[in-house]
């Protein structure tokens, strides 16, 4: 079992990566965690992990400084850096430390898991290199991985000599495979490519990189019909699969790792294609801008439909809006997910105005939006949320909605010293006496008592922060007279504000 260390000063990031790795690589990795570069270095000295995932910017000792110290003591460790800072200086520094990869925040877990799988493959290959004898197939696999990951000392002369220094190399990545193809399948992929490009291509190498099948073709970029014919031939090598094919071009051996990174990055667009597909829209480097579907006009129409109880119309508006982001070349999937989140936030606000107790889209809802691997599955999550809220709103009686609206108005306006029960009743279109009697009957409290409770609970929170002066807390909860605030607070808690703070 390999040891993997996660170094990040954010506990949520550490725990999230660890959980994903346990699901992705069950039984393969012993996972260690550290909150700083110093702690990470200490764990490395003690545990000797083979793979280190580290944030770049951290207090005390950053990830690059930790790695510089580590390279001298444990040169074989595979480094994967993560950072929210995309400056080229960080990337260059990481590459000088022979990092396997540099992943930008916000982390796309699928990309990070692919890099970990790649590191595992490298370690396995290096261990096999130290064992003798190696079969021809094993030597070819090690040479192939060395080409992908810029390890020139591992590339045999027999392979290097077949690729001219400035020879264009087409890098194809086939992802979303259900299982690792057996050796005959990889051979079939290579032969299919050679047949499709004959006589223009005489060198083809094929192998696995993590969970992706990678094909290297030494030739100029095919164009038009020939490229489509090649893609169809390659996809036909994965019958019954949802294989997704992407491409990038390298100039000679040194450019292969970056081309692999570019082709791999385009795999994210498989989100839009549930069936086998060749994605070529990004080949020219043109990525569609990210249009704002959730305009004020759209939100007004969406919320208006919900408040008029036209839920089917609201669902159709949301679906049509999301589908506008899918016309090739597509927007990045994360933009589609965020747009869906904004739509649900607007819908939640509309349902709240109908009296449903919603605090907006919660973390669980965002996790549900992050999970779907396809656009159609994301649409189903959006539909389900809308249907669930609509059903809950329909089950509320009129008095329940009125009680919720009273509470909501109080919680929004408690800090206003001029706020009154008469104002509240007017805003929810009820008479003052009816609102008061209804609230008392349903909750056992008067509206004034509930308003006082909301103010006192908020005062308790403010008093817990030493930066808030006692004399100012009353004003912040809507009570301008300090003595009156102190009396009400003692009646509510049994203590004066000063005693509560102690």
Average of per-residue pLDDT across 461-489:
88
Detail the DSSP E strand segments found in 402-485. none
Name the band, by pLDDT with cuts 50, 70 and 90, for residue 284. very low
Taking only the tens place, the pLDDT of each residue in 383-395 is 988 988 888 877 7
Name the band, by pLDDT with cuts 50, 70 and 90, for residue 365. low
Average of per-residue pLDDT across 167-171:
90
pLDDT of residue 491: 92
Residues β-bridged to residue 168: 251
pLDDT of residue 382: 92
Q: How far is CA 469 from the centre of its chain?
A: 41
Average of per-residue pLDDT across 203-218:
86
Token pair, residue 275, equals: 């069936």
Detail the DSSP E strand segments found in 226-361. 244-251, 277-278
Average of per-residue pLDDT across 61-77:
78
Q: Is the pLDDT of residue 226 over 80?
A: yes
Give the whole-number percent of the chain exceeding pLDDT 70: 85
Taking only the tens place, the pLDDT of each residue in 442-451 is 888 899 999 9
Q: Choose among 498, 452, 446: nearest CA to 479.
A: 452
Comparison of pLDDT for 31 and 352, the residue scoring more: 31
Which range among 273-282, 469-478, 479-488 shows the weakest confidence by mean pLDDT?
273-282
pLDDT of residue 88: 45
Taking only the tens place, the pLDDT of each residue in 7-26 is 988 888 888 889 888 888 88
325 contacts: CB under 8 Å, gap ≥ 6: 291, 293, 331, 335, 336, 339
Q: How far is CA 262 from the centre of its chain?
A: 19
pLDDT of residue 193: 92
Averaged confidence pLDDT in the chain = 82
Taking only the tens place, the pLDDT of each residue in 112-157 is 888 888 888 878 777 766 655 556 666 666 667 777 777 666 676 7
Q: Is the pLDDT of residue 286 over 50?
A: no
Token pair, residue 287, equals: 């990525």
* Dihedral (Cα; 154, 2, 101, 177), 10-degree rounding: 90
Best-predicted range by mean pLDDT among 44-48, 107-111, 208-212? 44-48
Neighbours of 399 (CB within 10 A): 13
Determine if the pTM surpasses 0.75. no
Which range among 45-49, 159-163, 416-420 shows the weakest confidence by mean pLDDT?
159-163
Q: Is the pLDDT of residue 95 over 60?
A: no
């Amino acid at each position: 079992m390999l040891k993997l260390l996660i170094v990040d000063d954010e506990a949520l990031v550490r725990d999230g990566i660890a959980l994903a790795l346990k699901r992705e690589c069950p039984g393969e990795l012993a996972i260690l965690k550290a909150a700083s570069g110093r702690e990470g270095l200490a764990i490395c000295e003690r545990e000797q992990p083979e793979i280190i995932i580290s944030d770049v910017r951290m207090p005390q000792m950053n990830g690059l400084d930790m790695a510089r110290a580590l390279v001298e003591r444990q040169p074989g460790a595979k480094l994967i850096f993560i950072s929210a800072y995309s400056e080229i200086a960080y990337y260059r520094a990481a590459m000088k430390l022979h990092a396997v990869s540099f992943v930008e925040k916000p982390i796309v877990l699928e990309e990070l898991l692919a890099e970990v799988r790649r590191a595992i493959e490298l370690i396995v290959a290096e261990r096999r290199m130290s064992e003798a004898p190696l079969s021809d197939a094993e030597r070819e696999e090690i040479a192939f991985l060395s080409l992908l990951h810029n390890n020139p000392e591992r590339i045999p002369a027999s392979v290097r000599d077949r690729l001219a220094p400035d020879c264009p190399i087409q890098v194809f990545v086939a992802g979303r495979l259900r299982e690792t193809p057996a050796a005959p399948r990889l051979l079939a992929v290579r032969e299919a490519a050679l047949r499709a490009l004959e006589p223009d291509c005489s060198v083809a190498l094929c192998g696995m990189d993590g969970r992706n099948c990678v094909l290297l073709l030494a030739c100029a970029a095919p164009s038009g019909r020939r490229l489509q014919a090649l893609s169809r031939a390659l996809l036909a090598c994965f019958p019954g699969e949802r294989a997704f094919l992407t491409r990038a071009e390298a100039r000679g051996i040194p450019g292969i790792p970056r081309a692999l990174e570019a082709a791999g990055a385009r795999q994210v667009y498989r989100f839009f294609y549930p069936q086998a597909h060749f994605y070529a829209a990004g080949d020219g480097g043109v990525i569609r801008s990210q249009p704002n579907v959730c305009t004020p006009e759209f939100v007004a129409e969406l919320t208006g439909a919900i408040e008029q109880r036209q839920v089917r119309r609201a669902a159709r508006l949301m679906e049509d809006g999301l589908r506008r982001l899918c016309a090739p070349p597509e927007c990045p999937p994360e933009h589609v997910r965020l747009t869906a989140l904004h739509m649900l936030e607007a819908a939640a606000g509309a349902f709240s105005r109908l009296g449903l107790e919603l605090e907006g889209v919660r973390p669980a809802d965002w996790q549900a939006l992050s999970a779907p691997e396809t656009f159609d599955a994301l649409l189903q999550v959006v539909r389900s949320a809308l249907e669930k809220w609509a059903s809950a709103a329909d089950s509320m009686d009129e008095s329940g909605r009125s009680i919720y609206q009273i509470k909501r108005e109080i919680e929004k306006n408690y800090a206003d010293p001029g706020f009154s029960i008469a104002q509240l009743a007017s805003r929810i279109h009820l008479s003052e006496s009816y609102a008061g009697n209804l609230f008392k009957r349903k909750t056992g409290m008067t509206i004034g008592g509930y308003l006082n409770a909301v103010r006192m609970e908020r005062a308790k929170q403010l008093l817990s922060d030493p930066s808030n002066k006692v004399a100012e807390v009353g004003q912040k909860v809507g009570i301008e007279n300090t003595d009156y605030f102190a009396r009400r607070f003692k009646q509510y808690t049994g203590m004066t504000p000063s005693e509560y703070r102690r």
